[in-house]
Structure 1
Amino acid sequence: MKHTTLALITLLIVLSALAQSPAAAAASSAIPGELLVRLRPGLQPTLRGGAFQVAGGPSADLTLLNRELAAIGGGDAALISPGSDTYRLTISSDVSPVAAAAALSHLSAVVYAEPNHRLVAQRTPNDSVIDQQWGLSNVQAFEAWDITTGGEIVIAVVDTGVDAGHPDLRGKVLPGYNAFTGGSDASDDNGHGTAVSGLIAANTNNGKGVAGLCWGCKILPIKVLNSRGGGDDASVAAGIRWAADNGARILNMSLGGSDESQTLRDAVDYAAGKGVLLIAASGNEHEAGNPVSYPAAYDTVVAVSATGNTDVITGFSNTGSYVDLAAPGVGLWTTLPGGGYGPPNGTSFSSPYVAGVAGLVFTLRPDLPSQDIACILKASADDKGDPGRDDAYGWGRLNALKALQLAQTYTGCPLNAPSPAPAPSPAPSDGSAPSALAPIPADSVGADRAYFPETGHSLGGEFRRYWQRHGGLAIFGYPTSEEFSEAGADGQSYMVQYFERHRFEFHPENPAPYNVLLSRIGDDILKIQGRDWFAFPKTGPQPGCLAFEQTDQSICEPFLSYWRSNGLEFDGRAGKSYAESLALFGQPISPPQTEEVGPGIFITVQWFERARFEDHGSGKVLLGLLGNELLRARGWR
């Protein structure tokens, strides 16, 4: 067996282990049995008998590619268009396209490989007034609904009450609260709250009336304003507190006044402290002096100004330093009491647009606290005013699609004066330690990066997302360097970062999530130590153990349980599959053997391609600090 074949063999095992189940296939937009593969320019091969060939016989690159194709049942291939280097390739329907793409992407003949995904027409509900709801197109709601139409997120409407019998709200309104009577009758005797509620969560795709932004959301009606639309600090504060205590995840306040109240502030802070996302209209008094409006101006409230259908701030909309977002606020068709519909104007109707989109984001990321949902809404907004935040638009005009797209990859708020990751510096050519290994001060790190005082280093971008998704501190340890440029195993320079237990390598030529790769750090350290793992004794198959024919080694307890319990995250399902564990650790390349891991410290270890397992007794298995050892082996520590 040659050393150079092991990486290929490992990839083939990953593919065979990731044969997809019907349930997994149904949950994915990837078309079973197909890949899109772009080959290196200039190859221009032909496909014969399931193998790529070029004039003069197959090259070494194509030989490796053809081996992979045989493993995944590669068959016909055709260029997607004349002059392109990208092929539509058929593979076995039993093989996961995601796993197959990951394997092929590592090959030198391949620029990238990816599943071929289904695309569908945008989800368009059949509500009869949908063509007049210009605001939905403005905030890209139709595209957002292709991601989610919203779950049963409870949104409190602190207003004049709600007409729960309206055909487009029937079944959407929960038992509520009347701040004037202390009872549960939150009927609407004004109409304002009913209009707000329809924008948020009207019954959608029911062939009648209007579409709400969050199809699945529920309305918690809180009556704090009377039939003339008036209330006071006491009634509003009571309603806010009741909503916070009775299941509201989001609280919309299309109301306000120019006098600050400690009672109202206390209620807002109380709700925010319970994890409620509070959203309020900025006010409609711009032409009357543009006063500051409360509760919108409180720090824990998302304040919303109003735009027209050309994205210009309306003449009535209050503006100021407290404004966080803008949203449509003119001619918005919605529900009116008694089963009617109409197009009211005002920031009162901009605020529920934000509340409805917040419901979509909470549906997608129920794990996030309210302040992160607020950040997503702001950071994803379309910047329509002066660059950055301004007093008219805040962070920009609401965009539902971009909010959901950001939510899918969100790891931290980028708005708090973020600083870009430092440009990676190259490793010194004389073999001395890179400057990136020196600790950095905490105050030099932007809010979009995590700082670890334990090592004095930071983590951000794609490396941070990978670290968090695939095990974090327990698997990789703390970062022990900043990013810097270093030669990889193929001799090419890549951005890398060292951790206590590993080394990350960034490959921008690969599609996410395969643009971050793990080093073969176990193999690398053994080579530096002058130890040939091919010369290690072979265990072969053992009873109760997991055998690997390619290395003639087995994993037995207690290492086997640890290997099976950890791995990269491929499929989003609970637990770790064989392929996920293999992708993280690789195959065993030694038998269990006693080694000195510290001065006078002898324990049983087993080496893997990308790890070293250590038995610390009583079934406790830890990963060796191979990242640290690699730095020491290179004389950098």
Structure 2
Amino acid sequence: MPARFALYGLLILLISLVPAPPAQAAPTTDWIVKLADTQQAVALSQRLRVQSLKLIGDHTYLVRLPTGMPATLAGERIRELAGIIYAVPDYERAITRTPNDPFIQQQWALGTIGAYDAWNITTGGPIIIAVIDTGVDAGHPDLSGRVLSGLNTITGSTNTSDDNGHGTAVAGLIAAAGDNGAGIAGICWGCQILPVKACFNNGRCRDSSVISAIRWATDNGARIINLSLGGAMSSPALQDAVRYATERGVLIIAASGNERAEGNAPNYPAAYPETIAVGATGYSDEVTGFSNTGDYLDLVAPGIDIATTLPGNSYATATGTSFASPFVAGAAALVMTVRPDLSSNDVRCVLAISAEDRGAPGRDGEYGYGRLNVLNAVQTATTYGGCPLGTPAPVVNPGFDPFTRVEPPSDGRLFFPETGHTLGGGFRAYWEQNGGLPIFGFPISEEFTEIGSDGRPVTVQYFERHRFEWRPENVPPYNVLLSRMGDDLLRRQGRDWYTFERSGPVTGCLYFAETNQALCEPFLSYWQRNGLEFDGRPGKSYAESLALFGLPLSQPQFEETRPGTVVIVQWFERARFELHPDGKVLLGLLGNELVRR
């Protein structure tokens, strides 16, 4: 079988400079919360068991989180409370986010893609980005301390030094130290580069080396993989490696290629649907004459005269789609920094819906979804609640069917003959403590591995009315997280609850300002009687009920929940209440319905 190769864009204009290493600011874990009513401060304190509340403005508090509670989880818990006007992290600011790097004026692309304003929100966290390329100069002053120990898949050694320059140029655009008084600024100053040398010094790469690189990077902590390489020959072996990574929650970003004038053939791996394919634009946002185009294209970013790093403490300007792709990789890392709970598919969606539309309206073969806008992406991520593009999340182990009935176990796990499934360990304890059969229903799957809310593999189990996600790194009771089943099912039905009619406040009912919906009898009594167990006291508090069901998303309305059965229902973030003809309030079997879909 002939070897398959990939060619790179040309690097020009070498410039010598030795910059100093940067200083990094520690991220904050405190939150600023504004309340509609100061009485909610007590509920907030009880809900989160906060270390301290400090009044810093009109109805506005600085909230210090309890030790061990993840910041993203705390943000979710805060926003679930009634009467919250806003809740935002206590972001760190600087006098200016226009870096003092001397070559910043040559980085014309940063202004075009909104990087300066995005850095007012975040300059990135320790997201691991694999650069599969010609290696990376780890000693370059603008990359010093940002390059992890990697692998050379050509030789099998750990020597990932760059004997071409291409890989160092890509890495600099992603993670060069910003605001350090020297050199350039990368998109994600806090990111970590995982170098994987899979290409020779002539800029060519065998599929076998690239495949090994993708799998190794996936198995060694990469959240994002940048592939500024490609060729016209598709290979099922290469696509298998791409799928291996994406099924494990890794986001793959690939250059679309520079062969538009030589036939504009699809470039692989960019043309595989699992990747984000990136084309190149010029000074006026036009697609360049060399950038490959096609229906597979997802985004475009600047790719002409891009100032970046080179081995030997040098700098250069570079042209090609190879240098558009790293901008998108860095932007994806900023999104993951502000929303570490998002899956790789959600990050992909955020980048797409926040891009600036160019060319024909909507997605097109020239610009994809549009030109990258880093500020829009970071802002979109902070309020993102679901993808309107409907991108499905991959299952990690598709060869195993966890929904097939099993035999009664001999290891003491609880067995349910009604569905043929078992329940044990932390999931069993959580199920029994928080309502059991009436609340969650029978298990309808075994425990299995799926992509979790943070884009990484996680143990889950489905029930008739819910989905459990195992998070042992969190302190109890947050070591089991509940999915937003109501929200998820509505979106999969193509129903946007943001467009539902709002009830507003109703006399005698419980009002939720966050969704402008009221909760009235008989659903109100059911909501108040049930909830997760937090405080160990009899009965259910407002916070405990909210944690189980979430906010109401609709008014009570008639719906056909199954063929021939019409009942009054009300949708919640994590449930659907149903009023049946006998007057009983039951929970909808959302787990069953979601699995069937």
For 2:315 and 2:163, how far apart are their aligned partners in 1?
16
Render the CA deviation track for 1:189-245: whole Å, top value 9, x for unaligned.
Answer: 000000000000012221110111111111111111111111221221121122112
Aligned pairs (5 A) from 1:201-280: 201-280=175-254
Indicate the residue corresponding to 2:519 in structure 1.
519
* Deviation (angstroms), 1:406: 1.9
User: Does structure 1 retain, via aligned residues, the 8 Å contact 2:486–2:575?
Assistant: no
For 2:302 and 2:326, how far apart are their aligned partners in 1?
10
Indicate the residue corresponding to 2:172 in structure 1.
198
TM-score (structure 2 length as normaliser):
0.59
For 2:152 and 2:344, how far apart are their aligned partners in 1?
25
Indicate the residue corresponding to 1:128 in structure 2.
102
Indicate the residue corresponding to 2:262 in structure 1.
288
For 2:383 and 2:130, how far apart are their aligned partners in 1?
28
User: Does structure 1 retain, via aligned residues, the 8 Å contact 2:171–2:326?
Assistant: yes
Indicate the residue corresponding to 1:439 in structure 2.
none
* Deviation (angstroms), 1:14: 2.6
Q: Which of 291, 300, 305 is equivalent to 2:274?
A: 300
Letter in 1 for 2:385: T
Indicate the residue corresponding to 1:188 in structure 2.
162
Render the CA deviation track for 1:44-65: whole Å, top value 9, x for unaligned.
Answer: xxxxxxxxxxxxxxxxxxxxxx
Q: Which of 575, 579, 591 is equivalent to 1:628?
A: 579
For the residue of structure 1 that corresponds to 2:388, the secondary structure is coil
Indicate the residue corresponding to 2:305 in structure 1.
331
Letter in 1 for 2:519: S
User: Does structure 2 retain, via aligned residues, the 8 Å contact 1:202–1:215?
Assistant: yes
Aligned pairs (5 A) from 1:6-155: 13-15=39-41, 32-34=56-58, 123-155=97-129
Render the CA deviation track for 1:395-436: whole Å, top value 9, x for unaligned.
Answer: 011111111222222232212499xxxxxxxxxxxxxxxxxx
For 1:338 and 1:346, how far apart are their aligned partners in 2?
22
Matching of residue 395 in structure 1 with residue 369 in structure 2 = yes
For 1:24 and 1:122, how far apart are their aligned partners in 2?
30
User: Does structure 2 retain, via aligned residues, the 8 Å contact 1:25–1:32?
Assistant: no
Render the CA deviation track for 1:149-206: whole Å, top value 9, x for unaligned.
Answer: 1111111111110111111011111111112211010100000000000000012221
Letter in 2 for 1:563: S
For 2:388 and 2:246, how far apart are their aligned partners in 1?
21
User: Does structure 1 retain, via aligned residues, the 8 Å contact 2:142–2:176?
Assistant: yes
Render the CA deviation track for 1:452-504: whole Å, top value 9, x for unaligned.
Answer: xx99xxxxxxxxxxxxxx9877999998998765765569xxxxxxxxxx999
For 2:237 and 2:92, how far apart are their aligned partners in 1?
53
Flag the 1:475–1:197 CA change in 2: closer, same or farther, 3 A.
closer
Flag the 1:169–1:478 CA change in 2: closer, same or farther, 3 A.
closer
- Number of matched residues? 414
For 2:276 and 2:523, how far apart are their aligned partners in 1?
52
User: Does structure 2 retain, via aligned residues, the 8 Å contact 1:159–1:224?
Assistant: yes
Q: Which of 348, 370, 391 is equivalent to 1:374?
A: 348
| Deviates most, 406-415 or 348-357 | 406-415
For the residue of structure 2 that corresponds to 1:333, the secondary structure is strand
User: Does structure 1 retain, via aligned residues, the 8 Å contact 2:82–2:512?
Assistant: no
* Deviation (angstroms), 1:365: 2.3
For the residue of structure 1 that corresponds to 2:172, the secondary structure is helix
Flag the 1:475–1:168 CA change in 2: closer, same or farther, 3 A.
closer
RMSD: 4.7
Identity %: 47
Flag the 1:284–1:261 CA change in 2: closer, same or farther, 3 A.
same
Flag the 1:503–1:190 CA change in 2: closer, same or farther, 3 A.
farther
For 2:357 and 2:576, how far apart are their aligned partners in 1?
45
* Higher RCO, 1 vs 2 (CA within 8 Å, ≥6 residues apart): 2
For 2:354 and 2:318, how far apart are their aligned partners in 1?
26
For 1:270 and 1:486, how far apart are their aligned partners in 2?
44
For 1:564 and 1:490, how far apart are their aligned partners in 2?
18
Flag the 1:118–1:265 CA change in 2: closer, same or farther, 3 A.
closer
For the residue of structure 1 that corresponds to 2:322, the secondary structure is coil
For the residue of structure 2 that corresponds to 1:560, the secondary structure is coil
For the residue of structure 2 that corresponds to 1:304, the secondary structure is strand
Flag the 1:632–1:208 CA change in 2: closer, same or farther, 3 A.
same
Flag the 1:631–1:119 CA change in 2: closer, same or farther, 3 A.
farther
Structure 2: gaps of 5 or more residues: 1-35, 62-77, 393-463, 466-480, 527-534, 553-573, 585-597
For 1:119 and 1:164, how far apart are their aligned partners in 2?
29
TM-score (structure 1 length as normaliser):
0.56
User: Does structure 2 retain, via aligned residues, the 8 Å contact 1:503–1:627?
Assistant: no
For the residue of structure 1 that corresponds to 2:213, the secondary structure is helix
Q: Which of 378, 382, 392 is equivalent to 1:408?
A: 382
Indicate the residue corresponding to 2:339 in structure 1.
365
Aligned pairs (5 A) from 1:319-468: 319-416=293-390
For 2:117 and 2:127, how far apart are their aligned partners in 1?
20
Q: Which of 284, 307, 319 is equivalent to 1:310?
A: 284
Based on CA coordinates, which of the two structures has the bigger radius of gyration? 1
For the residue of structure 1 that corresponds to 2:202, the secondary structure is coil
Structure 1: gaps of 5 or more residues: 1-9, 37-71, 73-97, 106-111, 419-453, 456-469, 492-501, 508-513, 527-556, 570-575, 585-622
* Deviation (angstroms), 1:34: 2.9
For 1:133 and 1:476, how far apart are their aligned partners in 2?
42
User: Does structure 1 retain, via aligned residues, the 8 Å contact 2:253–2:276?
Assistant: yes
Letter in 2 for 1:330: I
For 1:139 and 1:185, how far apart are their aligned partners in 2?
34
